Chains A and B, each alone.
Chain A
Amino acid sequence: MQKIYFDHSATTPVDKKVLNDMLPYFTEKFGNASSIHSFGNEAMAGVDKARKQIADSLNCNSSELIFTSGATESNNIAIKGLIQAFRKKNPNKKIHIITSVIEHDAVLEPFLEMEQKGVELTFLPVESNGLVNIEKVKNAIQDNTILVSIMFVNSEIGTILPIREIGKTIKKVNGKRLNNWKKCKTTSRGDKPQRIYFHTDVTQAVNFIDCNVQWNYIDLLSLSAHKIYGPKGVGALYKKEGILLEALQCGGHHENNIRSGTLNVPGIVGLGSAIAQIDSKTRDKNNIKITELRDRLVSGIIKNIPDVKLNTDRKVSTPSHAHFTFFGVEGESVLISLDLEGIAVSTGSACASGNLKASHVLIAIGIRKEIAHSSIRFTLGKYNTKKEVDKLIQVLPKIIKKIRNINPLYELTE
């Protein structure tokens, strides 16, 4: 059976070019990048090259990058590391932080942990298409706000958040505060005002959008290799020069003491290579191709299956995503049925999650719990074909019909 993969938001296959770039670093160039002999130097050369590749892509300096095990770790270091470093310097100051209700758990949970430790937390609501309103960001900022964290692309519905506008807003507030402070008499003005830092998780964005940190006014950024046709278990954190972060684990003082642990050289080389494949020309080309496939998939589903709703707002989303509600079916049973046909998708249904809770993202965009269970996410990638989309459109209507037929509460209207 020909297998078809429509779950690129979960992970992507490693690009063959990326794999070839990585391979020598397992056997021939296996040295510890911290060693100062030739083996170590060879490994470090690979790390340096990857650092440069990532820096070029993000438009930052190599020295502003920290390699991690992935975006989850990058998020944890950015959020907890920033707050802990701030606390150390200002033990008596109250701290306020802002995030959105549709963040990934890898951002939400560190935020909630910080809240437990006495940090004041604001969750920004989102519109029904997942967008954050800039005015709401502005209004949420307090005198003691030190961090705003908003994802670039939502992994479930694909919404692209207005990162540049948010970054600009924060920059303006920072500039205004500094100017007001400068205008005050030096004898009475007190400490320099605290800067608000802007963190964004770009894990789902890199394939489709230029994540230039200068253009987007980003201070801290997390990314992961395995979502961009690179290997699993490696990611990076961009930290603008001068920002203080406290390490979450101690040890061998790697990565400027922020992330101790022997560098995952093949993984890092893979991350660099993966990001280097996504130059603006390739990105545009893939975006056009994937948009065409997504539109074919969406219109095929809408034409062939009654009683469905597209939850992805295509005007504001990455080309990859098509998130649907199929009324009257439970998502996990659709997922398993498609899997039996060799087609991989994902669902926001509680029945497919470890904690048996409906997706917080779907609830946040106003989807009722009973309908959240009926959702299926298709996420397309650069290797998908029209033929694969057509195969899905051929098998899915029968599956939905069969499962609706078993549902005691669903009246077949066909």
Chain B
Amino acid sequence: MYSKKVIEHFKNPHNQGQIEKSDAIGQKGNMACGDVMKIYLQIENNIIKDIKFETFGCAAAIAVTSAMTDIAKGKTIDEALAITKDNIVKDLGGLPEPKIHCSMLGIDALREAINNYKNK
């Protein structure tokens, strides 16, 4: 059902945890719908120096957020805003159709974090 890469990210998520002195935080979703994504950013000169995530969700949700943090790390915040769900799904070697929405939630949380930073 899941690609090897999804399982790899799920088993050993990259950038999982919190940033104690983060520059911005974004959170999307709720327990009732079964997915919560939280993104922590450390930003220097508009570049994402560090990114961490926490997720309540299915294996796909965890893998998607993990892969997304890999993609976003080192990018400028504007580049990070341009990350699409297709970028992540492709990076993961595909996702089962009903799981595609998980990838949107991760992106939404990242965008919210960046927008929070911009509006500071």
Residues of A within 8 A of B (CB): 328-330, 332-333, 336-337, 340, 349-352, 354, 356, 358, 368-370, 373, 406-410
Contact = CB atoms under 8 A, between A and B. Distances in A.
A406 B16 contact: yes
B71 interface: no
B94 interface: no
Contacts of A370: 30-32, 34
Given A333-B10, A333-B62, A409 B56 contact: yes
B101 to A, nearest CB: 8
Main secondary structure of the interface of A (DSSP, over half): loop
Contacts of B98: 354, 356
Given A340-B7, A373-B31, A407-B36, A351 B56 contact: no
Contacts, number: 70
Given A340-B11, A356-B98, A332 B36 contact: no
A330 B32 contact: no
Nearest to B109: A408
A9 B83 CA distance: 42
Interface of B: 2, 7, 10-11, 13, 16, 27, 30-36, 38, 54-62, 98-99, 101
Contacts of A409: 31, 36, 56
B34 A330 contact: yes
Given A333-B59, A333-B62, A349-B58, 14 more contacts: A330-B35, A330-B56, A332-B58, A336-B7, A340-B7, A349-B34, A351-B58, A352-B58, A369-B32, A406-B62, A407-B36, A407-B54, A408-B27, A409-B56
Contacts of A340: 7, 11
A349 to B, nearest CB: 6
B62 to A, nearest CB: 6
B58 A408 contact: no
